[in-house]
Chain A
Amino acid sequence: MFVPHSSLDLNVIFDELEISSLEELFKHIPDDLLIKNGLDVEDSLSEIEATKYFEDISNKNKNNLVCFAGGGHYDVYLPPTVKSLTMRPEFMTSYTPYQAEISQGILQVLFEFQSLVCDLTEMELANASLYDGATSVAEAISVAINKTKRDSVIISDGFNPNTKEVVNTLIDKAKFDLNYVPLSGYLFPEDYEFTDKDAAFVVSFPHYEGSAQDLSKLVKKAQSKGVITICYVDPSMLGVLKTPGSMGFDIVVAEGQSIGTPLSFGGPTVGWFATKKDLARLVPGRIIGETIDNNHKKTYVMTLRAREQDIRREKASSNICTNQTLNAIGSAIHLSWMGPEGIYQVGYQAIQKAMYMKSQLKEAGFNVINDESSLREFLVETNLPAKKIISEMGNKGFLAGIEYSENLLLVALTEKRTKDEIDNYINLFSEVNHG
């Protein structure tokens, strides 16, 4: 399959190599190591058979759950225009654009991606993507540690637990202190005092719990102690939220799924990374620059390559090589499709719908924990264990949210949710909670 050779072709190749069988290719491999009777796997499927095989397995997923879950991944509308452009084979089946002359397409889209991310976050330099939001947080912390040569990291506790776990894996706890600061009233304590031992202040905007605050003062306080400030932002809310740049942050990272990528069971998505130019030489991953060719024509090229692992080897600050280019392309095209008005609607409608849902929940007698400070995502108390609510509502066609704690459910809205879906959710939610 996918090997083009006919028996005539094989004759030509065998003649050139003066062999008569494939086995002869491996005479130099110790005989003990050669596989004798082939692999223990099933026979091949034709596409017709494989269609059924993979559709049958997909049917074991509960399809079309109306999604009220967030936590970093959001059911934002993704237009077919964006999907089909992103999946153009010239983008999808190309390699990393090391050969600039035949890669101007990818290079220019990535340059546009970097520029759009900078414009949206008010930063100066973005890279061409990292794996996902969680690993981007860890990479940003590494940059702060490298920059400050300090070993204490101040992290808001208001992160998706998975993100915290990734940070705990990737930052060497034998060398660095990871100090998680609990939220107070679902906000980062404004009176927190940083010290000159702290390398980084890492905070999510909005917090995982859905609450948000103007972080400008905390950023100023941290920077006055020489701390690198890192903002993990929900990019699909940047049509309405203050920009991290305007609040003074040094580094912005994001889980970029909601811009240009389907939910995808969490992968592949894309990590965004943007910063100020004075940190340029510490940035992980690829960066595209604008230049001219030998005829003074506009040209894009991978730049600041001296930071990367293939050149610096064990001295590189990050080992990233393969990234999430295609998802970054999706982000660029989706942002251009939305435009200023579209991304505003995505954020504004999500918040309005969340406000409606919160008011309806309260009317139905439920306790919305962070009503005032939350935007599109909030915590609601459940009478029965949240896990059970999710399970029962799942059976009736709703992904009710994410289990936050035993009796708290984290619920997210996007512009896609309709009033009917919200009303039906609340009816069902009341029913199962009182069931």
Chain B
Amino acid sequence: MVSGGNASSLPLVGGASEPTIRELSRPGRRASKYPKLDVPEVDFNHPAMKNEKAPLPEVSEHDLVMHYSRLAHRNFAVDLGFYPLGSCTMKYNPRFADYVASLGAYSNTHPATPSEFTQGSLEILKILETYLTEITGMDVASFQPPAGASGELTGLLIIKKYLQNQNLTNKTEIIVPDSAHGTNPASARMAGFNVVEVATDERGMVNIEDLNSKVNENTAGLMLTNPNTGGLFEEEILTISNIIHDAGGLLYYDGANLNAIVGVCRPGDMGFDIVHSNLHKTFATPHGGGGPGSGPVAVKSYLKEYLPGPIVEKNESNFYWYTPENSIGRMHGYHGNFLVALRALVYMKLLGKEGLDTLGSYAVLNARYLSSKVSKYLPLAYKEPCMHEFVATVKDLKKSHKIKAYDVGKALLDKGFHSPTIYFPLIVEEALMFEPTETQTVETLDDLAESIKHIIEELCAPGVNLTDYPKNLPVGRPNELIPAKHLTVHWGDFELLELTE
């Protein structure tokens, strides 16, 4: 390995289990200190109050800091190593954006503060809107949705309300490719639509014949990501959008794969009416271990009045909140994940024109290079040139050596890499989906490919026990049945289980 150290080796502090904060608790210890009450103390009783203290841990501040620092040592992260995680866009998250988001005037503002005192924050959202709409080819955006799935639901509710207002209540079907993310059909159901699946052809793209057979007067719209979840550009996208529009349906763009096309082409030019962007993917805001994200929705101007509000508008002198006339309503208690949106704007300003114009190109370049390297050891699912991600398959190794995609992923952890996305898209057998992003070096990409070569050799050797992998981490493969069966989801549950069994 020349690209760097082994990020996921045993933590510095050793491989022993870390006790829980409750196990570290001792009566009478404390980390917090509050000032003495500076108003006259009054005796009072209230029927909503209790007498006993809350059962929280009692620890010293040093113990608290050591505990959570030791736990941090047991976690992989973008700052430690490479996540070739397809569909997740785990690129570098600039530190500078965290600095800006920590400025008190942004981070300490109460959300109910009137707009006359928050002109700066409203301006941030307005500028970000101009960037997002330019990048996606749309006209107006709402920052209400706090995540991608919420953005999807927003888009579908917009479609629903728009069609209702046109008295097109027969339109109840949303078409979703069989390769789509699980959130797509889940969001469509939540919005009250029926989900109709369209097949993928042997090239890995929407099967136009099948699409034609599924589209009819009941079609409300299509949800699609382009490039699709196989990492391929839907070359017939203009045909697809014509088919949907001719049937009176709307096109929804799932922004999961937007990183591939920033500066290359735009969903708005492909015929999409609604786009959500995942700011935590394409625009480099940190994933936070699973969130927060931000899933702003941008639309063509004819849908503006349906957006979840309030959205930011500007008159001659001021920014102000505006609730669109036919708004589907709020998707969030206040203004969405504002500090995430702010970080995304910081990233865009640092990239500027030269960075944004080439963003998608470099993301695709790295994926194309990695696919070329990986394909020497594992067959790819599709022959077409990939965009920002590609899918390889382990199905041959499964036949010959019972090695599954899962096993390759687990063995890769030992080599200092996060696993690629496995078993997705569902339509590819034993799928491994790789997305390198534009921020990885050639050496890292080479190292990953070499590691895959070594892993295959290692796992194919006689006498190997696949379930032993990974071997060099704080824990091995978890028993997933125990918590699912016994609901060991609260401290004490597991000990109780041991006592009773």
Contacts and interface: CB of A to CB of B under 8 A. Distances in A.
Interface residues of B, number: 191
A434 interface: no
Contact of A50 (B96, B113, B189, B280): B96
Given A94-B78, A125-B490, A65 B113 contact: yes
A391 B58 CA distance: 43
Nearest to A161: B330
B479 interface: yes
A205 B265 CA distance: 50
Contacts of A338: 31-32, 56
Contacts of B30: 339, 341-342
Contacts of A99: 76, 409, 413, 418-419
Given A94-B77, A289-B489, A336-B21, A242 B69 contact: no
Given A316-B186, A319-B149, A375-B46, A165 B482 contact: no
Interface in B177-202: 181-183, 185-190, 192, 195
Nearest to A269: B333
29 contacts: A28-B233, A35-B263, A39-B353, A50-B96, A53-B349, A60-B120, A61-B120, A72-B333, A85-B69, A93-B77, A96-B289, A101-B413, A115-B492, A119-B55, A166-B331, A166-B332, A266-B335, A268-B146, A292-B479, A294-B476, A316-B189, A319-B150, A319-B183, A319-B190, A323-B291, A340-B55, A342-B56, A391-B116, A419-B39
Nearest to B52: A340
Contact of B473 (A45, A101, A262, A352): A101
B362 interface: yes
A2 B439 contact: yes
B182 A45 contact: no
Interface string A35-74: 1001111111101001101110111111111010101110
Contacts of A321: 147-149, 182-183
B228 interface: no
A29 B150 CA distance: 30
Nearest to B184: A313
Nearest to B109: A265
Contacts, number: 644
Given A61-B106, A287-B489, A309 B77 contact: no
Contacts of A340: 53-56, 58
A104 B183 contact: no
Interface in A191-244: 205-206, 212-214, 238-243
Given A28-B235, A169-B329, A319-B190, A105 B288 contact: no
A70 B337 CA distance: 18
Contacts of A118: 490
Contacts of B119: 60-61
Contacts of B117: 61-62, 65, 394, 399
A240 B69 contact: no
Nearest to B262: A39
B286 interface: yes
A192 B59 CA distance: 44
A112 B192 contact: no
B110 interface: yes
B166 to A, nearest CB: 17
A290 B493 CA distance: 8
B245 to A, nearest CB: 16
Contact of B338 (A45, A214, A265, A309): A265
A116 B56 contact: yes
A316 to B, nearest CB: 4
A369 interface: no
Contacts of A391: 114, 116
A102 B8 CA distance: 7
A184 interface: no
Interface in B23-80: 29-32, 34, 37-42, 44, 46-50, 53-59, 61, 64-65, 68-69, 71-80
A12 interface: yes
B463 interface: no
Interface stretch (A3-11, A147-155, A425-433): A3-11
A102 B473 contact: yes
Interface stretch (B82-90, B207-215, B389-397, B452-460): B82-90
Contact of B123 (A57, A212, A240, A288): A57
Contact of A293 (B29, B98, B290, B477): B477
A356 B41 CA distance: 8
Contacts of A280: 487, 489
Nearest to B369: A13
